[in-house]
Amino acid sequence: MSITSAIVLYAVIWFMSFLIAIPIRLQTQGDVGKVVPGTHAGAPEHHYLKKKAWIVSGVSAVIWLILFWIITTGQITVRDLDVRGVMSPSSATADDKAE
């Protein structure tokens, strides 16, 4: 895995995790009872984005390390995910194809 691939993988994991974490423990203006005139009652009042970003960064780092290890060691390959048997057998090597 190249450095660029590793950074992109971490970014995808981070953003997906952050989008999942945003609505957790979100308090709206309607929940608090202080609706500012001109805004919707569902507008966020307390969202704790900085705290959530730090937590998501740590969780994403752990998930990234697990995936990085799986990808670099080859513990799980694309052929392991082929449940329908669509891919050709992996027993054929490049030397066999050259003959």
The rounded mean pLDDT for the chain is 85
Checking if the pLDDT of 4 tops 80, the result is yes
* Structure confidence at residue 12 (pLDDT): 97
Q: Which residues of 27-60 are buried (b: 16+ CB within 10 A; e: fewer)?
A: eebeeeeeeeeeeeeeeebeeeeeebeeebeebb
- Mean pLDDT for 23-33 is 83
pTM confidence score = 0.71
